[in-house]
Copies of this chain bind each other. A is one copy, B any other.
Amino acid sequence: MIGFRVLQEAAGPARLGRLTLPHGEVSTPAFMPVATHGSVKGLTPPQVRETGTEMILGNAYHLWLRPGCGSIAALGGLHRFMGWDGPILTDSGGYQIFSLAPLARVTDDGVSFRSYLDGSTHFLTPEDMIQAQEQLGSDVAMMLDDCPAGGAAAAVVEAATERTARWAARAVATRRRADQAVFGIVQGGTDPALRAASARALVTLDFDGYAIGGLSVGEPRAETAVVAAATASLLPRDRPRYFMGAGTPADLVALAAAGIDLFDCVLPTRHARNGTLFTSEGTLVIRNARHTADPRPLDPNCACLTCGRFSRAYLRHLVLAREPLAVTLNTIHNVTYYQRLMRDIRAAIASGTLAAFAATIGGGARENEEEASCPA
C-alpha cells in the first residue's frame, strides 16, 4: 500500500518515480498544491483534479488549531472532510510554528507557542504531531522538526539539527498506523557537515521518505540547489525525497535535477490571488493597464478552463471588480501551469534532456520581480 519505485534515472541524480500511497499513485517528480486549511484556495476538488494534480498538501499545525484534528477524525478523516480522495501529505507545521507563531519556545520536550487565532497557549510534542496526523489520516505524515528561522546563528542551527534528530526517533517510536507513511526531515541549514550528520542520523531510523527542510528560507538561491543536491545524495535511493517549500519554476527544474521527487509551494496559488500569472512567456501581472483590451488567453499553450474560455481583458476586469471568480480562474491557471511544468520535467528526464529543458525555463519577459524563495 505504501511504496516508492524509481522508474528511470538520468545521467545525473534526477529520476522518474512512482509513489504508491493508500489513496493512489503519484508520478514523480510531483508538485503538491497547498491546502493549508483543508482547501486549495478557491478550487473545488474536481477543479484541483482537472489541473493535473495527483497529490496535495495540508498543514497539521493549522488544522490542529482549527477545527482540531480530533474533530476531523470524528468527521471521517481529512480526505472525507475536504472531499479529496487522492493522496494527501500533511506537513507537521514545524516551519509555521517556529516562524509564525508568537512567542514560540522550544525545549527537548516540545514547543510551546501562542495560537495566532486567539492567543491561547499550547504545547506540542513530536508524539503529539504524529498522533494528530494519524487522526487526520493523511497518506504521508511529517515528523515535527525544530526549524530555525532563516539567518539563525550557527550554534542555533546546530542545536536545532540535533534536536530534530532526537525528535525523529520519538516520531518513529510513536507511529502506529501501517496505512500512513512517515517522512523524516533533514535539517542543518547550509552547513554541509551538519546536513550530512542530520541525514545519517535520520537514515538509520528507516523513514518511508525524507524531506529536506530549512532551505528556501532566505539563503542565496544558488546555495539552495547546491545544499539540496549534496543532501539528496546522502539519502537512500529507494525512498522519496521531498524538498519543502519550493519554489519558482526554475527552482523546481534545478531541484528535480538534484534528485528531488516531491515539491510543495504556495507560489502558484498565492500569486494567483495577487493576479500574478505564469505563462510560457514569463510571468504576467494581470492588473496592468496593457491587458485592458487584450482578447488573448493568458497562455496559448495552456489547456485549462481559464485559457480555454477567457481573455486577459476579462481576467483583468474580474480583478479590478474584486470578483471572487478571479481567485478561482487565476488559481486554476497557475496550478495547471505548474502541473504542466512537472509533466515537462518528467518527460525531459525520460528523454535525457533535462539540462536542455532547464535552459528554456526562467527566461521570458517578467512583469515583476520573482520571489527568491517560496513564501510560507
- Chain A interface residues toward B at CB < 8 A: 37-46, 66-67, 71, 74-76, 81-83, 292-293, 295, 305, 309-311, 313-314, 317-318, 320-321, 323-325, 327-329
* A75 in complex: contacting residue of B74, B75, B295, B328, CB < 8 Å: B295
| Distance in angstroms between the alpha carbons of A337 and B308 in the assembled complex | 29
Q: Flag if A293 contacts B74 (CB, 8 Å).
A: yes
Pairwise interchain contact A328-B317, C-beta atoms closer than 8 A? no
Query: In the complex, which residues of chain B have a beta carbon less than 8 angstroms from the beta carbon of A37?
Result: 317-318, 321, 323
Once the chains bind, are B42 and A317 in contact (CB under 8 Å)?
no
Interface of A, helix, strand, loop or mixed by DSSP: loop
Q: A327 near B329 (CB under 8 angstroms)? A: no
Q: When the two chains form the complex, which single residue of B45, B293, B309, B314 contacts A309, counting CB atoms closer than 8 Å?
A: B45
Whether A41 contacts B323 by the Cβ 8 Å rule is yes
- Complex CA–CA separation, A320 to B62 (angstroms): 13
Partner pick for A328 among B81, B305, B328, CB 8 A cutoff: B328
Q: B328 near A292 (CB under 8 angstroms)?
A: no
From B42, B46, B324, A305 is in contact (CB under 8 Å) with: B46
Q: Is the CB of A75 within 8 A of B311?
A: yes
* Contact residues in B for A67 (Cβ distance below 8 Å): 292, 313, 317, 320
Chain B residues whose CB sits within 8 angstroms of the CB of A323 once the complex forms: 37, 39, 41
- In the complex, A39 Cα to B83 Cα: how many Å? 25
CB distance B66 to A305 under 8 Å? no
From residue A318, how far is it (CB to closest CB) to chain B in Å? 6
- Name the B residues within 8 Å of A45 (CB-CB): 309
List chain B residues, Cβ under 8 A from A305.
44, 46
Query: In the assembled complex, how far is the CB of residue A42 from the closest CB belonging to chain B, in whole angstroms?
Result: 4
A75 to chain B, nearest CB (A): 5
Further 15 A-B residue pairs, CB within 8 A, beyond A44-B329, A83-B309: A38-B321, A39-B318, A41-B325, A44-B305, A45-B309, A46-B305, A66-B320, A66-B321, A67-B313, A67-B317, A74-B295, A81-B311, A81-B313, A83-B310, A324-B324
For residue A272, give the distance in angstroms from its CB to the closest CB of chain B.
Answer: 10
Given contacts A66-B320, A311-B75, A313-B67, contact A328 B38 (CB under 8 A): no
> In the bound complex, what is the Cα–Cα distance between A162 and B305 (angstroms)?
48
Measured between beta carbons, the chain B residues less than 8 angstroms from A293 are 71, 74-75
CB-defined contacts of A81 to chain B, threshold 8 Å:
311, 313-314, 317
